Structure 1
Amino acid sequence: MTFGVDAKGVYPIAATPFNADLSVDYDSVDRLTEFYQDAGATGMTILGILGEAQKLEPEESLTIARRVIARSRVPVVVGVSNPSFAVMRRLAREATDAGAAGVMLAPASHLRSDEQIAAYFHHCVEAIGPDVPWALQDYPLTLSVVLSVPMISRIMKEHPSCVMLKAEDWPGLEKISAIRKLQATGDLRKFSILTANGGLFLDFEPERGSDGAMTGYAFPDMLVELDRLHREGERDAAHDLFDAHLPLIRFEQQQGIGLAVRKYVLMRRGAITSDVQRSPRSSLTPTGRSEVDYLLERLARKDPRARL
């Protein structure tokens, strides 16, 4: 299975489940894989920031990748960003050999100048191989690296193997429009744009030209329905659905505890057994959990998927 410049739809960013003893919960990895597919996901993205990839041993990452790919009926994109190009190379090559559709690369946080950024992605593509399709992650809020529209254009021109932009700058609506304008005039080649930021701006991103979502909101089935409504031109229905979920989406976006909220909801939905994280980690207080429960109860009045 492959993905490319025409990729559309919803590629949920998968969490990585852990047992109470902090070992990888492979049974929950299997269940979560089915959960995303049953939700109607177009593809899956694993071992990203949400997936706590930086807390995994290289062998754990490889085992998770092989396990998800083996169970998946949809394209799987594997996050391979790593300070070591050797580790990046091994994960990228072994994941694609196992059947991954492609990989995702993010800029290293120490990069500042455009020349440093350009050189870094040259070395990344050299490491993974020019035959491996990849998605460029643009996430300055967490990675502290600013990818301007001209810089993104340069990366896309220099690396035909980059088939997708994971757009999660904030604000990012005008950035999407600027990229699509360059493509419309023939000044920039075609590539897919999937958006993230927890889905916080999915009410307007499709109208600006995004092709779908690549984010980790704990209701991927809602993301699939929202994407369908946008594609069918049901603008008011799409905004109504988004507005119903917005309080929970906003709660998930809190700095520091966002992953704790997301894992807690996934646990409540039966997708994973435990919401435990590896260190450095955050956790919900009993009050925080009760607030999430309250938001789920209110959401269930408008969307029965939240009736847990």
Structure 2
Amino acid sequence: MLTSSAAGVYVICPTPFEGDGRVDVASTDRMVEAYLKAGATGLTILGIMGEAPKLAADEALAFARQVIKTVAGRVPVVVGVSAAGFAAMSGLSSKVMDAGAAGVMIAPPSTLKTDGQIVSYYADAVEAIGADVPWVIQDYPLTTNVVMTPKVIMRIIEQSPSCVMLKHEDWPGLDKITALRRASDAGQTRRVSILCGNGGMFLPFEMERGADGAMTGYAYPEMLVDVVNLINQGKRTEAHDLFDRHLPLVRYETQPGVGLAVRKYVLKRRGIIATDTLRKPGPKLSPETIAEIEWLMERIERA
């Protein structure tokens, strides 16, 4: 089961598709093994970058079961169960936990406008999934348009003992990490794991502010693993030097709208998935964009 001591790199997995849009079973297995070989300490599936809203309910469950089966208990698997209604959230959560998931992740709907609404929503979500299911707050205001202050996050943590992790994707958000860590160090709130997203754009500094690692999906996950390990070893300069070598592609991958297409293209070029197909609606990369990606990859691999 997922716990508040979770750390390292939980790689966000895209959902591989065949050229005709069907879920690619063979690529899914190959992707899982590649991420584990890269040093992932966990995997996260059916998140925003997993194109979860484009999957039918039976496809999402089948994909989750396949990943969990392929992992075979080697690392925890977190499953995104965000849904428009609590019935769908409850149903998927129950089935993936029965299949062997370590926990679930829940993003707030964009309709939440006040602190009270946010706190109340998560109380209802916990009731829906069951108070014994470990779960992750997904704090991604750039996509959800829901802003959660440190105080709101602390209220959610305190009202739900089964909340064990914050997936931190606020931007700018470094001071939020500092505020939460100061509060837990002072005994003002329970300490939970903080893993950071946004493609790893600020990972070295997030680690230095008190994050426990990353939960994101950069196409060279071994870099994320090495940066986390180097920071934990006190090798700050080496960590930042390595990160800076990848930063141009990290930045390119975090472009709104096109980022997943870029990531899938790189994963295809690295032999991790067979195609870079996105389900419609989704962008297609222009020849100019592909040429830029190829140049960025060449720079990384030459170095």
TM more than 0.5: yes
2:76 is equivalent to residue 94 of structure 1: no
Deviations 1:60-100 (A, max 9, x none): 01001111001112100000000021111111111011110
CA distance in 1, matches of 2:25, 2:300: 30
Residue deviations 1:25-62 (CA, integer Å, cap 9, x gap): 11111111111111110000000000000110000010
Counterpart position of 2:223: 222
Match of 1:63 in 2: 62
Structure 2: give runs of 5+ residues left out of the alignment.
none
Equivalent residue, structure 2, for 1:11: 10
1:285 corresponds to: 286
Distance 2:59 2:86 in 1: 18
Deviation per CA, 1:230-282: give whole Å up to 9, x if none. Answer: 11000000000000000000000111110110000011111110101012201
1:100 and 1:285 map into 2 onto residues whose CA distance is 38
Q: Does 1:24 align with 2:11?
A: no
Structure-to-structure mapping, 1:1-308, within 5 angstroms: 2-72=1-71, 73-302=74-303
Q: CA offsets, 1:151-172, max 9 Å, x none? A: 0010000011000000010001
Alpha-carbon displacement from aligned partner over 1:177-231 (angstroms, at most 9, x marks no partner): 0000101110011100000100000121110000000001011111111111011
Secondary structure at 2:11 match in 1? coil
TM-aligned CA deviation for residue 301 of structure 1 = 2.1
How many angstroms does 1:118 deviate by?
1.4
CA separation in 2, counterparts of 1:201 and 1:245? 12
Q: Supply the AA of the counterpart residue of 1:49.
A: I
Structure 2 counterpart of 1:222, one-letter code = M
Paired positions, count: 301
| TM norm structure 2 | 0.98
* C-alpha separation in 2, matches of 1:90 and 1:66: 14
Report the 3-state secondary structure (helix = DSSP H, G, I; strand = E; otherwise coil) of the residue aligned with 1:12. strand
Other structure's SS at 1:193 match: strand
Gaps of 5+ in 1: 303-308
Per the normalisation by structure 1, the TM-score is 0.97
Cα-to-partner distance string for 1:112-140 (whole Å, 9 max, x where unaligned): 11111112111111110000000100000
- Once residues 279 and 121 of structure 1 are traced to their aligned partners in structure 2, the CA distance between those partners, rounded to angstroms, is 31
Partner of 1:306: none
Query: Separation in 1 of the partners of 2:153 and 2:252?
Result: 30
2 CA distance for matches of 1:8 and 1:138?
17
For 2:23 and 2:15, locate their aligned partners in 1 and report how far apart those are by CA, in whole Å. Answer: 8
- Between the aligned partners of 2:136 and 2:53, the Cα distance in structure 1 is 18
- Partner Cα distance (2:204, 2:225) in 1: 13
- The answer to whether the 8 Å contact 2:204/2:228 transfers is no
Q: Percent identity?
A: 56
Q: Distance in 2 between matches of 1:299 and 1:197?
A: 20
Provide the rounded CA distance (Å) in 2 between the counterparts of 1:296 and 1:190.
38
Aligned AA (1:202)? L
Q: Distance in 2 between matches of 1:289 and 1:203?
A: 28
Q: Distance in 2 between matches of 1:87 and 1:264?
A: 31
SS at match of 1:11: strand
Runs of 4+ off more than 2 Å: none
